[in-house]
Amino acid sequence: ETVEVVVVETTAAVAEKAPSKATTDVNPRLEGLALMLDDGTRKSHSMAENTRFVAGFFKGLADPDSYRALLTSLYFVYEAMEEVMEKSTEERVKTLDYPALRRVESLQKDMDFFYGEKWQEDIQPSPAAKAYVARIQEIAETKPYLLIAHQYTRYLGDLFGGQMMSNMARRSLSLENGDGTAFYNFEDIPSAKDFITLWYTSLNELELTQQQKEEIVDEANLVFALNIDVLQELSGSPFKAMFILAVNSLKEKRLWPFLS
């Protein structure tokens, strides 16, 4: 008896690149380069580094100016990433470059909201953003396969935590109707979990030497450090942002009616 399996794709990008069902039966995070990246970055990130990362993100939520500065740095980083990926002839990078992950267009919407018209004439990258962009441009010329580490660290992190971060920004800064948080909204990816599984599967199928895989892990750790640098240069107090977030969450739940 023949059993017909019908697979419904969630986005055009996934439909074009998605691996077969048979390859997704085993959790791809438990093998190959996916496992190396998860383990390699976990071991090298101390508790202090993770605390700095979280504190830095909360600094970005302290007030509209800090959040706008964070978005500005991210705009320069993603503009550089997506520009080099667009021009790259490195097929292994292109394999993981799903259109649904691209962030520049959504960041432009957020910049329009916070800056108004002609913002591109007024903004400049911060020192940390400059260093980040320089690294992206350097490896694009010398070892383009290392861009995989940037795709892994930024895109998967944004996708995995996007909804949570969007909600935090909305509550902390009293944003409404999705204004200012388009960056965290992946409209063409209904299920982050399913998409990440597909992405990891594609990652593991890439033809890379053991040395190249180890270099990608090292680069992913560097990317983490570059992101911390971007967050640490933001002004504002992380504790102020956490307090505002907590108060606004309570107001939403009507636990503090006198603050409404």
Tens digits of per-residue pLDDT, 152-171? 999 998 998 888 888 888 98
Helix (H, G, I), strand (E, B), or coil: what is residue 201? helix
Average pLDDT over residues 200-222: 97
**pLDDT tens, 123-157?**
999 999 999 999 999 999 999 999 999 999 999 98
Nearest residue to 249 via CA among 259, 237, 239: 259
Nearest residue to 102 via CA among 84, 119, 120, 125: 84
Q: Is the dihedral of CA 208, 210, 212, 215 positive or negative?
A: positive
Report whether 136 contacts 81 (CB < 8 A): yes
Nearest residue to 111 via CA among 175, 214, 181, 56: 181
3-state secondary structure 110-141: HHHHHHCCCHHHCCCCCHHHHHHHHHHHHHHH
CA distance 247 to 133: 36
Residue whose tokens read 């090298």: 44
pTM of the model: 0.82
**pLDDT for the residue 160:** 86
